[in-house]
Amino acid sequence: MSEEFRYLHPNFIIEPLVDGFYAWHHTVAPVQASLNLAKLQVPMLESYLQNPQVHVAASSNPALRGGFFVNIPEDRAGEVKDLLSRIKTERASMLRFASAIAEAEEILRQGATGFGLDALYPKLPTELSGLVELAYDTSNQPTLRFIEPAAYMSPAYLEDRQSVQLSLETGVERPFILSTPRLPSETVLDLPIPFRHEGLSELFRARIHGTTLGALREAFELDDAGAARLDSMLIDAPDLAPDRHIDSGARIRYFGHACLVMQTPEAALVTDPFINGDSTATDRYTYRDLPDYIDVVMITHGHQDHIVLETLLQLRGRVGTVVVPRSSRGNLCDPSLALYLERVGLPVTEVDDFAEVEFPGGKVTATPFLGEHADLDIRAKSTYCVRIGGKTLFVGADSSGIDPGLYRYMREHVGEVDIAFLGMECAGAPLTWLYQALLTRPVTKKMSDSRTLSGSNAAQAAAIMEELGAHEACIYAMGEESWLGHVMATSYNEDSYQLQQIDEFLSWCGDRGIPAEHLYGQREWRW
């Protein structure tokens, strides 16, 4: 039986984990991962163990959705205690690294007074030796620049933190990814392997081409129980949508949130892939509907809902390149997306503003991305203009129209836009919700609340449309789809400011005869 070809169940999912926590950019990149472990995850586990009932109750309170509460039943608190103990013992080098960063920042604040910095290097903690450069900016403000490729070679990057849980999508919302670690379960297969493990490529090829249970068992070194559990996630024939490819013209399919699949008979492109695994659902596209080969994947920025590792890992072996915006090289709040994805085994093309990437029958132009990052100096963010099937599409993601003049330059470069895809999460979370662990100097709540992860409001979206000369507008769902709750943890009602702004923008479009809609779930365009 182990030599018969088997295929992945259409509801197959993978959760990539680091020390049990769901993996995303800031918990894998070594410098940022050390800080998140020391300043967020360890204190959160300690808080849970002091009073598990408070965390569980808060996790079920809709008003506190998206808060940093560990949603694990009290009767499993012993397992959480063991996890915390392992982290403190086995990740001591990462915790020391986080402390060293704080110490170095203080040395810099006290010692960098506008004069030469050479005398400060011997004072730096040994954990940072060879990994940082001290510098001033042109305002004479001191800064600590991390040599990020070297950090991936240091004790701050430990691949044995990495593991994956394999299971089948049940349709039940998973716990919020930023707060709740995953514990072992009878319904999942835990594999203590790094994300770059070649066995994962073999596994994901089985969605289309098939493999044998024997090959997978050998690749993952499974015992009988593990092989049996994996076997329950395999089927005897591929389950793929017959219309996942097209023979003529061009097509766009909206897969939910900010994920678009653009196709011609010659090429396929995907933006910010975030694919649902419930093939029984009739209101969305799933992995069954993806084309077999994807020429270009475009990542707009590094937030956890736009660079979704559980989806990207499943695309290994069927992607030509993943296009990512170039980071600022060493800025603490701006880790490299390219290094991150290369380390997990994906082919990467890094682009600057207005760089072009060609594909059969068209090209992608990387265009600037304003705002949405709480006014932090983050460069690894890009919008894209895609020329495909004779049309120009603007992929705006969560970018802001705070300075409409920028879009005038885009129009001069790429011409008028046929369809603009925009995000309008215009009342986003405060600075500290996502970046608290990376702040080396405290900010007040008032400061944090004034600096939000916000995209365009109605007026800004209208300005983008005017400057681009866009003929049609689509606003993507902002975490409204129910199946994204474990990542988005958003809650809207008819009085939500964001939805009111979308309605105002749609009215603005309607008054000018511009087709516009608020997307949700799935949608298809053909021409």
Q: What is the 3-state secondary structure (H, E, C) of 301-333?
A: ECCCCCCCHHHHHHCCCCEEEEEEECCCCCCCC
The residue type of 238 is P
* Amino acid 3: pLDDT: 84
Separation of alpha carbons 63 and 318, rounded Å: 41
Q: Does residue 242 form part of some domain?
A: no
In a shared domain, residues 66 and 129: no
Question: Is residue 144 within 8 Å of residue 100, measured between CB atoms?
Answer: no
Separation of alpha carbons 469 and 512, rounded Å: 12
Query: 495 exposed, middle or buried (CB, 10 Å; 0-12, 13-18, 19+)?
Result: exposed
In a shared domain, residues 441 and 297: yes
The residue type of 133 is E
Q: Partners of 298 in the beta sheet?
A: 271, 323
Place of tokens 């021409």: 527
Separation of alpha carbons 199 and 180, rounded Å: 27
Specify the 3-state DSSP secondary structure of 298: strand
Q: Does residue 194 form part of some domain?
A: yes
* Amino acid 491: pLDDT: 85
The residue type of 114 is G
Q: Does residue 219 form part of some domain?
A: yes
In a shared domain, residues 332 and 442: yes
Separation of alpha carbons 426 and 443, rounded Å: 22
Six token digits for residue 122:
């011997």
Q: Does residue 321 form part of some domain?
A: yes
Question: Is residue 431 within 8 Å of residue 454, measured between CB atoms?
Answer: no
Beta strands 294-298 and 268-271 are parallel
In a shared domain, residues 204 and 286: no
**Among 151, 169, 189, residue at a domain's last position:** 151
- Helices and strands in the chain, H and E counts: 18, 23
Six token digits for residue 93:
């080098």
**Among 235, 264, 289, residue at a domain's last position:** 235
- Contacts of residue 80, defined as CB under 8 A and 6 or more positions apart, other chains included, come to 45, 48, 49, 52, 70, 72, 181, 183
Residue-number span of the structural domain to which 99 is assigned: 92-151
Question: Is residue 470 within 8 Å of residue 411, measured between CB atoms?
Answer: no
In a shared domain, residues 322 and 222: no
In a shared domain, residues 272 and 414: yes
Chain segment 53-92, per-residue pLDDT in tens:
999 999 999 999 999 999 999 999 999 999 999 999 999 9
In a shared domain, residues 134 and 165: no
Separation of alpha carbons 490 and 304, rounded Å: 14
In a shared domain, residues 390 and 423: yes
371 in the Ramachandran plot: left (φ > 0), alpha (ψ -120 to 50) or beta?
left
* Count of C-beta atoms within a 10 Å radius of residue 172: 6
Q: Does residue 438 form part of some domain?
A: yes
Total domains present in the chain: 3
- Contacts of residue 455, defined as CB under 8 A and 6 or more positions apart, other chains included, come to 371, 372, 397, 398, 399, 400, 422, 423, 424, 425, 426, 428
Separation of alpha carbons 235 and 350, rounded Å: 37
Question: For the chain, how far is it from start to end, CA to CA, in angstroms?
Answer: 46
In a shared domain, residues 364 and 385: yes
pLDDT along the chain (527 residues), means of 10: 85 97 98 98 98 96 94 98 98 97 96 97 98 96 96 96 97 94 96 97 94 96 97 96 97 97 98 95 95 98 96 96 96 97 97 98 98 95 98 97 96 97 94 96 95 96 98 94 91 90 97 97 97
**Among 235, 268, 294, residue at a domain's last position:** 235
In a shared domain, residues 69 and 111: no
